[in-house]
Amino acid sequence: MKYYDKLVFELSRPGRSAFTLADNGLDRSETFEGPLWRQSDPELPSLSEPDVVRHYTNLSQMNFGVDTGFYPLGSCTMKYNPKINEEAVSHFNGIHPLQPESSLAGVRKIYEAMDASLAEITGMKHFTFEPCAGAHGELTGLMLIRSYHMDRGDSARTKIIVPDSAHGTNPASAAVCGLEVVEVKSGADGLVDVESLKPLLGPDVAGIMMTNPNTLGLFEKDIRRIAELVHGCGGLLYYDGANMNPLMGVARPGDMGFDVMHLNLHKTFSTPHGGGGPGSGPVGVCEKLVRFLPEFGGGSFSLNPASDALRVSGFHGNFGVILRAYAYILMLGKDNLPMAGRLATLAANYIKESLKDCYRLPLPQVCKHEFVFDGLVDDGAHTGKSGATTLDVAKRLLDYGFHAPTIYFPLLFHQAIMIEPTETESLETLDEFIDVMRRIAAEAAQDPDILHGAPHNTPIGRPDETAAARQPVLKWTGKA
């Protein structure tokens, strides 16, 4: 029997317990009465302390994380999370958001220092720290853009332009904000096509949402021209900062012409994410939008926003994440921050060039921190069997101890494999990954069935992902 064969409820034996409390002599029925007094005991498993420890330790080992292995998940910037970040937050465990502001001077200082650091890194004027994720930041940023237009009495701007290569959250956030999404096409080089953009511009355009480098890992070299055109029609530019890693300390969205942006602190600034980890998506704005930010409604930073300010979460977002990101910025310092992005860019190009004879590379330019393959050059279909797909390659990687890259995104290619190595991987790890990817390509060419059946070595094989997403079983039903 393997450890993952049993649920904690099945390991339960009546009477076992992981704690002992001395009898305090109180009769519980005297303290609670009436409807508050439950009629039956809760159905909780009864386990000894070692059973509990083994159960959770074993569960943690079924998981994959940046602390267990290489995690080249494109678009997600799964860089190593330095443990000194955790040390930093451990000093703030006792604070509560409802403490009087006068007793939170240290917290306030950290917010102010982060505001100044992020402003310098991005070329924005000020940030709000309320949004708790990138998508949350997008929604906040779009609401700020709308506030700006409405404040000028311009209510006709209902459209937002989004490139066809955009992350799915961009059109989703725009729709949630009540804006109409208009798609602009990419050219053959994977970049926004300026000629396709021009006819979309007009007095009904609130702005454009872009990420740069884009989701193909390519730098939008026409960005200054695009900014000129969008500003020319009265729109604003929103920067999706999820791809800021290669540009940190190298180039600034503010200098490219962007007016509003978010950063994913949990990606670029090394705080743990994935699997539901807390995020932070602070939104920065240029000078003319500062007065719409909750923290700056009164002119200078305040932990007590004006009551009529735009609020998108309680208090000031995930302070622990913000503090971890601050520790990361201080640890690298001004001189070393740009090195992170340069190394990430080097690592991505190194993998791309080392594998392009085995995997189709539709856009051969020098990339930034990530790039996209479009399936295998030789998928083994010539063997008379069905050819190995991108899903097969991703599943086979798990057998070799690597997390899979992002697959089937962006939607521009049918067999997309999107690889983002990040700067924290050693040359040895990159070489091992390249070696395994080549081995998988050879397996596909010789016997694609090995890949069709993968993974062979993991606790579970290929779950029904649709059912897992739509009909998840998340609690014990009393039946095995």
Ligand X SMILES: *Cc1c(COP(=O)(O)O)cnc(C)c1O
What residues line the site for ligand X (CB under 6 A)?
A: 75, 133-135, 167, 169, 211, 215, 240, 242-243, 264, 279, 281
Sheet with 260-263, strands from edge to edge, namely 126-128, 283-285, 260-263, 236-241, 205-210, 159-163, 180-184
CA pair distance 251, 132, nearest whole angstrom = 25
CA pair distance 321, 302, nearest whole angstrom = 19
Beta carbon of residue 359, minimum distance to ligand X (angstroms, whole number)? 21
Enter the tokens of residue 67: 């602390």
Beta carbon of residue 242, minimum distance to ligand X (angstroms, whole number)? 3
Beta carbon of residue 53, minimum distance to ligand X (angstroms, whole number)? 32
Residue spans of alpha helices (H) in 152-302: 169-176, 194-197, 223-232, 253-256, 265-268
Identify which of residues 74 and 249 has a Cβ nearer to ligand X in the complex.
Answer: 74
Beta carbon of residue 211, minimum distance to ligand X (angstroms, whole number)? 5
Beta carbon of residue 34, minimum distance to ligand X (angstroms, whole number)? 45
Identify which of residues 273 and 396 has a Cβ nearer to ligand X in the complex.
Answer: 273
> Which residues in 257-352 belong to E strands, given as ranges?
260-263, 283-285
Q: What are 182's strand-pairing partners?
A: 161
Buried b (16+ CB within 10 A) or exposed e, 107-133: beebbeebbebbbebbbbbbbbbbbbb
Beta carbon of residue 136, minimum distance to ligand X (angstroms, whole number)? 6
Identify which of residues 281 and 455 has a Cβ nearer to ligand X in the complex.
Answer: 281
Buried b (16+ CB within 10 A) or exposed e, 424-434: bbeeebbebbb
Identify which of residues 135 and 394 has a Cβ nearer to ligand X in the complex.
Answer: 135
Strands 371-374 and 159-163, by their bridges, are: unpaired
Identify which of residues 240 and 423 has a Cβ nearer to ligand X in the complex.
Answer: 240
Cβ-closest position to ligand X: 134
- The three-class DSSP label of residue 476 is coil
Contact partners, residue 208, CB within 8 Å, separation at least 6:
160, 161, 162, 184, 197, 226, 230, 235, 237, 238
Identify which of residues 104 and 133 has a Cβ nearer to ligand X in the complex.
Answer: 133
Beta carbon of residue 132, minimum distance to ligand X (angstroms, whole number)? 9
CA pair distance 178, 173, nearest whole angstrom = 9
Beta carbon of residue 155, minimum distance to ligand X (angstroms, whole number)? 28
Identify which of residues 236 and 242 has a Cβ nearer to ligand X in the complex.
Answer: 242
CA pair distance 200, 205, nearest whole angstrom = 8
Identify which of residues 280 and 389 has a Cβ nearer to ligand X in the complex.
Answer: 280
Enter the tokens of residue 25: 């002599």
Question: In sequence order, what DSSP letters do the residues of 223-249 get, joined into one string?
Answer: HHHHHHHHHHTT-EEEEEETT-GGGTT
Beta carbon of residue 415, minimum distance to ligand X (angstroms, whole number)? 20
Identify which of residues 247 and 358 has a Cβ nearer to ligand X in the complex.
Answer: 247
The torsion of the CA quartet 171, 177, 180, 182, rounded to 10 degrees, works out to -30
User: Which residue shows structure tokens 């703030």?
Assistant: 92
Identify which of residues 215 and 415 has a Cβ nearer to ligand X in the complex.
Answer: 215
